[in-house]
Amino acid sequence: MKKTFKLIDLDCANCAAKMEREAAKIEGVNEVTFNFMTQKMKLDAEDERFDEILDEIAKVCKKVEPDCQIVR
Amino acid sequence: MSRKLKKLLVRISIAAVLFLAGMLLPLPVYGGFETNIILLVAAYLLVGYDIILKAATNIGHGQVFDENFLMTIATFAAFGTGEIAEGVMVMLLYQVGEWFQQYAVGKSRNSISDLMDIRPDYAHLVKDGETQTVDPEDVAVGDTILIKAGEKVPLDGIVKKGESFLDTSALTGESVPRRISAGDEILSGCINGSGLLEIEVSKEFEESTVSKILDLVENASSRKAKAENFITKFAKYYTPIVVFGALVLAIIPPLAGIGPGFREWIIRACTFLVISCPCALVISVPLGFFGGIGGAAKEGILIKGSNFIETLANVDTVVFDKTGTVTKGTFEVQKIQASDGVTEDYVLECAALAESHSSHPIAGSLIAAYKNRTGKELSAEKVSDVKEFSGMGVAAVIDGVEVFAGNDKLSAPDKAAVKFANVDAAGTVVHVALKGKYLGYILISDEIKEGVAEAMTELKKNGVSDLVMLTGDRKNIAEKVASSVDIDTVYSQLMPGDKVDKVEELIAAEDKKSKGKLAFVGDGINDAPVLSRADVGIAMGGLGSDAAIEAADVVIMDDRLSKIAKAIGISRRTIRIVRQNIVFALGVKGIFLVLGALGFANLWEAVFADVGVAFIAILNSMRTLYQRG
């Protein structure tokens, strides 16, 4: 399943790159891109575990940039 | 300005005042304790508390190379060595830099979305004789909507009532309004210039032109250019290396007893930490590409990814498909020549009937000419057993007789088996024959588009050395067209499949010769495989053609060839700006690493340089948005 999410308070381009790197490592993620310019995340991940994966990504993002939130 | 930014600005201002007061006011000293330090510490805490907090939480998450953490270490170390004012100054400048970055990025983000301000907010839906204003997403196919003068067209559809002039400039960059009346197709994203229009919706919002274009531009930045990948890779290693360098600097020289002593080396190590964030690069490079894509979109040129900007900038060969690209692709019957004993109408009827199932533009012109000439509709039931011979023509059984219609290759013994007339005229010749009997020919010609020759000159000026044209037409026609518009090389009489082979051949030859790339320009109708095979495929006249938007890497919304030179120009400029930023930012950081290690740059100078670079690089990137002329 592919879905796009809005990101709030993604302030630092380097953080976006870091999040992208970390999120891509999560199991079940086929492809994930963090777009600093449009403040959006595009996630392509396994259908059955999609929500679980999204939770994990949110956790990773919190680690890198505590302010940043994924709008679901 | 967002609330977050405003808050930061207030904090910075108050801290700056406190800092200045602490530095300048002659406050008393009690027993060796300078009371102005209280002011400095207050300034530091006010401006930097969030950095310190983030540093603490992030280090708990194992983020060692987090910029907040590094900044905190650097300033703490400065305090530790007694450089209190330095430490405060560093934090202050760092926050000023952060503020500027966020402000500039927000600004350019806004200007890009303004450029792409084609998303309609509402639609006037007509239901049971009443008009209500709804979200365009709630309108279904087949619904009727009203568009008042000056409003954006919210959905694609067919005009049922009314006439008006349509401003398509947001989609095509074309400023001359287009006339529209009942029966015409209307595309979302245009602006209704004058009259009231009643539209029957033909596509849902998600499928409509405006959504597709917005989607394309927004997603363009996820296809990354080599320069962007380089930067993300670089950023991954840069910070750890610089931090490691700082550690080495703080430990090795003092232990080895070199130079000015432990305290001084610690301060030098701090200058490393302060410039360890690669943010200037990480922001300015994608920002540059994003701006380039936005600026091009404003001109009616959709570039599907940053990587194609890079390729376009290196194009030195442009291959054109003739029909629909160099020529208008609208064919008209110029002349009908019938053999003795055959009427012209009969020749035309045979040709039109044989071709009546084909989607080729020539077929359309034959059918149109028949209707015009005779005032009758074609009786399709007369036709059976249609066979297409790719690159030659068709054979069909009409009223029980086999008829051939196509080019001179159809005269072959296994086809019509009769000699065709030798015609030397500019245009496409459709010969019509029965088995063993020649009926005559029809001359159809296709007009060359306006401004083609100028577009070619423009391309040459932009550094394109080879202009090539591919066509299925006969050699003499092809050459006539090419020479009239200054195209150097022509490959004629190509079957549709040959075009891919030819392009592959050209790419191979090109790779041997130079680093230049090959662009193929087509109309996206019959040449999708070629478009995808070329280094960069450019589709013309993409407005309203889903096939073209799908297949190409670059879509030019109207059909003016001059846009190709413009697209190349925009790409070259974007790449130039991106390169400037990379060189400039790396250069300044490099210089300050050296100066810092040697003790020639103090902490706040390093921060100032770092913040300044980021700021200048961002401003430079924003130039890509604004294209000259």
CATH number of A2-71: 3.30.70.100
In B480-557, where do the E strands start and end?
489-491, 517-522, 536-539, 554-556
Element (H, E) at A31: strand A29-35
Report pLDDT for B579.
93
**CB contact (8 A) between residue B218 and residue A38:** yes
Read off the DSSP letter of residue B421.
Answer: P
Q: Smallest Cβ distance to B290: which of A17, A37, A66?
A: A37
> Which tokens go with A1?
């399943």
* In chain B, ranges of CATH 2.70.150.10 domains: 140-203
CA distance B283 to B275: 15
Of the two residues B82 and B219, the one the predictor is more confident about is B82
B32-40 contacts: CB < 8 A, separation 24 or more? B37/B84, B40/B84, B40/B85, B40/B88
Distance from CA of B280 to the nearest CA of A (A): 9
> Which tokens go with B418?
């009769």
Q: What is the mean pLDDT of residues A24-33?
A: 87
**CB contact (8 A) between residue B58 and residue A63:** yes
B328-447 under CATH 3.40.1110.10, yes or no: yes
Q: What is the mean pLDDT of residues B85-94?
A: 87
CA distance B217 to A38: 10
Residue B466 designated active-site: no
Q: Which of B102, B46, B194, B89 is nearest to B618 (CA)?
A: B102
Q: What percent of chain B has pLDDT over 90?
A: 10
Residue in B with minimal Cα distance to A60? B61
B224-280 pLDDT, tens digit per residue, is: 888 888 888 888 888 888 888 888 888 888 788 777 777 888 888 888 888 877 777
**CB contact (8 A) between residue A14 and residue B218:** no
Residues in A touching B610 (Cβ below 8 Å): none
Residue in A with minimal Cα distance to B68? A65
Distance from CA of B222 to the nearest CA of A (A): 7
**CB contact (8 A) between residue B57 and residue A66:** yes
CA distance B145 to B132: 9
- Is the pLDDT assigned to residue B629 strictly greater than 60? no
- Is the pLDDT assigned to residue B563 strictly greater than 50? yes
**CB contact (8 A) between residue A39 and residue B109:** yes
B399-427 pLDDT, tens digit per residue, is: 888 889 988 888 888 888 888 888 777 67
Residues in B touching A11 (Cβ below 8 Å): 98, 102
Return the CATH class of domain B140-203: mainly beta
Q: Smallest Cβ distance to A35: which of B112, B221, B236?
A: B221
B interface mutation test: which of A4, A14, A21, A65 has the most B CBs within 10 A? Answer: A14
Task: List residues in chain A touching B: CB distance below 8 A.
Answer: 9, 11-14, 17, 21, 33, 35-40, 42, 63-64, 66
A interface mutation test: which of B222, B229, B234, B287 has the most A CBs within 10 A? Answer: B222
CA distance B318 to B539: 13
Report pLDDT for B115.
63
Q: What is the mean pLDDT of residues B78-85?
A: 84
CA distance B447 to B441: 19
Q: What percent of chain B has pLDDT over 70?
A: 96
Distance from CA of A55 to the nearest CA of B (A): 17
CA distance B309 to B289: 8
User: pLDDT class for B366, splitting at 50, 70, 90?
Assistant: confident
Q: What is the mean pLDDT of residues B422-434?
A: 81
Q: What percent of chain A has pLDDT over 70?
A: 100
Across the A/B interface, how many CB contacts are shorter than 8 Å?
Answer: 52
CA distance B75 to B77: 5
Assign B64 to helix, strand or coil: coil
Report pLDDT for B16.
92
Q: Which of B143, B156, B321, B408 is catalytic?
A: B321
**CB contact (8 A) between residue B219 and residue A63:** no
CA distance B399 to B601: 94
The predicted complex's ipTM stands at 0.78
B511-534 pLDDT, tens digit per residue, is: 777 778 999 998 766 777 888 888
Amino acid A11 reads D
B interface mutation test: which of A11, A30, A32, A37 has the most B CBs within 10 A? Answer: A37
Residues in A touching B63 (Cβ below 8 Å): 63-64
Q: Which of B83, B531, B525, B461 is nearest to B263 (CA)?
A: B83
Distance from CA of B565 to the nearest CA of A (A): 27
Residue in A with minimal Cα distance to B239? A14
The alpha-carbon radius of gyration of chain A (Å, integer) is 11
- Is the pLDDT assigned to residue B53 strictly greater than 80? yes
Residues in A touching B66 (Cβ below 8 Å): 64
Read off the DSSP letter of residue B451.
Answer: T
B462-506 pLDDT, tens digit per residue, is: 888 889 998 887 787 788 888 888 888 899 888 877 888 888 888
Please state the separation of Cα B499 from the chain's center in Å. 25
Q: What is the mean pLDDT of residues B211-232?
A: 78
**CB contact (8 A) between residue B222 and residue A63:** no
Query: What is the dihedral sign for C-alpha A26, A32, A35, A39?
Result: negative
User: pLDDT class for A9, splitting at 50, 70, 90?
Assistant: confident
Report pLDDT for B628.
59
CA distance B514 to B465: 11
User: pLDDT class for B12, splitting at 50, 70, 90?
Assistant: very high
- Is the pLDDT assigned to residue B205 strictly greater than 50? yes
Residues in A touching B67 (Cβ below 8 Å): 12, 14
Residue in B with minimal Cα distance to A35? B222
User: pLDDT class for A21, splitting at 50, 70, 90?
Assistant: confident
B376: Cβ–Cβ under 8 A, 6 or more apart, which residues?
A: B370
Residue in A with minimal Cα distance to B277? A14
Whether the Cβ atoms of residue B131 and residue B198 lie closer than 8 Å to each other = no
**CB contact (8 A) between residue A13 and residue B54:** no
**CB contact (8 A) between residue A21 and residue B112:** no
Assign B440 to helix, strand or coil: strand
**CB contact (8 A) between residue A36 and residue B286:** yes
- Return the number of other C-beta atoms located less than 10 Å from residue B542's C-beta: 30
Put the strands of the sheet holding B536-539 in their side by side order: B301-303, B554-556, B536-539, B517-522, B315-321, B466-470, B489-491
Whether the Cβ atoms of residue B518 and residue B535 lie closer than 8 Å to each other = yes
User: pLDDT class for B34, splitting at 50, 70, 90?
Assistant: confident
B118-155 pLDDT, tens digit per residue, is: 778 888 988 888 888 888 888 888 889 988 888 888 88
Residues in B touching A13 (Cβ below 8 Å): 105, 279, 282-283, 286
**CB contact (8 A) between residue B63 and residue A12:** no
**CB contact (8 A) between residue A35 and residue B222:** yes
Amino acid B443 reads L
A42: Cβ–Cβ under 8 A, 6 or more apart, which residues?
A: A2, A3, A4, A5, A31, A32, A33, A35, B219, B222
User: pLDDT class for B1, splitting at 50, 70, 90?
Assistant: low
**CB contact (8 A) between residue A66 and residue B283:** no
Query: What is the dihedral sign for C-alpha B12, B14, B15, B20?
Result: positive
Mean of all residue pLDDT scores within chain B: 84
Q: What is the mean pLDDT of residues B22-48?
A: 82
Q: Smallest Cβ distance to A13: which of B57, B222, B282?
A: B282
